[in-house]
Amino acid sequence: MRPESAVDDADKVCALFRRRFSAKPAVVASAPGRVNLIGEHTDYNGGEVLPIAIERRTWVAVGVATRGSSEAISANETESGAWEAHEPHRTGKWWDYVSGVAAELSLRGWELPPLQIAVVSDVPAGAGLSSSAALEVAAATAFGALAGVPLSATEAALVGHRAETEFVGVACGIMDQFASALGSTGMALHLWCDSGRYEHVSMKDAVLIFDTAVPRSLRTAAFNGRRQECDAALAILRGHFPTLQNLAAATPEQVAVAALPAGLDRRARHVAEETRRVGSAVVALRATGTLPGSLLYESHESLRLLYECSSPELDWFVESASASVGVTGARLTGAGWGGCGIALGDATALAEAAPAIAAKYEARFGRRPRTWITHAAAGVRLHENLT
């Protein structure tokens, strides 16, 4: 991925805005996509996660319309959206992530004027890199600045998360929006998802992102199904341990004692063990600046066998990456069921390994993967001095 200065993209979104609305935007904000290093399917179970923001961002330029409804256009989409400023409704289209943020702010008592919004993004959509969280967090930050009520990064993450769960209707945890809002250059974000507490941990590794290019058609249904299983497992565990705060707080020993039905047992074991792996990863990262590959491989095996959210393509990627020179660890990242895998190591070694892995993947699966190399990048930003 390219370095982070990205002045071009600020110019691009301003130019798009000016072309469409014949005026200069009042505010521009940008927010990145994310990959999770470890701690998968733990966020909505109150556990720990360790994502980074990536060097790909979504830019949102905003101005006030003198009258009429709010309008949003995107350089990445053919359709543009319009909605009543005081009554956004869900449409199933891309601008729900923007109008959903406006709806959430209205619920908080804000009276936003009709808005003019332009979007430019180089976060790939549909790949599991949280393009929606990037859009929500950038929009929330831009709207806050426009209204003269600047949101902190945490507030922007929470508003974005509510837009995603309440307005768009995806039952995700808080990881994606927090990673997009609170990412920091050269740092991983260690987030406790029960309290929203976080710390940044310095990280030297480069990350190869490998998009398996498997359509995500089944991902949402499968994801929601896992959430229900986790709730069911927690209910049974609480029968044995009434004070259990959440599923991630259960120890592997407590999960064993509860003798859950086989499927629920596998889900609960994954969540209990994975959240502890995050703790070990953070200890190692603090000591060495790199993540131990063994933890990444263990995480992947657990997602494959216990959480059952991997795919033949992701398993193939992890195996191939592990056999490549200079790769220290690999695993699936994000929800699974397709989407992206990551491999960690030195940037030069990863850049050398990527084309060979990609070529073999295409020969094996008949799909052309996309690959990027990134380092931990900065989170949400407001941009001054607009052109």
- Give me the least distance between CB of 284 and ligand GLA, in Å please: 20
Q: What's the Rg (C-alpha) of the chain? A: 21
CB atoms within 10 A of CB 254: 15
| Closest approach of ligand GLA to the CB of residue 130, in Å | 7
Answer for the pair 114, 68: CB distance below 8 angstroms, yes or no.
Answer: yes
CA angle 73/338/336 to nearest 5° reads 100
Between CA 214 and CA 4, with CA 374 as vertex, the angle to 5 degrees is 125
Report the distance separating Cα 356 and Cα 318, nearest Å.
14
Catalytic residue among 96, 122, 176, 211: 176
Residue 367 tokens read as 């799909």
Q: Compute the distance between CA of residue 239 and CA of residue 245 in angstroms, rounded to an integer.
A: 13
Residue whose CB is less far from ligand GLA, 82 or 168 = 168
Report the residue number, 268 or 335, with the smaller CB distance to ligand GLA: 335
Q: Closest distance between ligand GLA and the C-beta of residue 173, in Å? A: 3
State the minimum distance, in angstroms, from the CB of residue 191 to ligand GLA: 11
Strands (E), 194-316: 198-202, 206-211
User: Which residues contact ligand GLA by CB under 6 A?
Assistant: 36, 40-41, 43-44, 172-173, 175-176, 334-335
- CA–CA dist 294, 296 (Å, integer): 5
Concerning whether 176 is annotated as a catalytic residue, the answer is yes
Least separation in angstroms between residue 172's CB and ligand GLA is 3
The residue sitting closest to ligand GLA, measured at its beta carbon, is: 172
Nearer CB in complex with ligand GLA: 122/176: 176
- Residue 105 or 248 with smaller CB distance to ligand GLA: 248
> Minimal distance in Å, beta carbon 278 to ligand GLA?
11
DSSP-assigned letter for residue 249: G
Residue 207, C-beta contacts closer than 8 angstroms, at least 6 positions apart: 35, 37, 52, 54, 342, 343, 344, 350, 373, 374, 375, 376
Please state, in angstroms and rounded to a whole number, the distance separating the CA atoms of residues 39 and 23.
44
Closer to ligand GLA by CB, 44 or 210: give it. Answer: 44
**Of 53 and 145, which CB lies nearer to ligand GLA in the complex structure?**
53
> Which residues are annotated as catalytic?
176
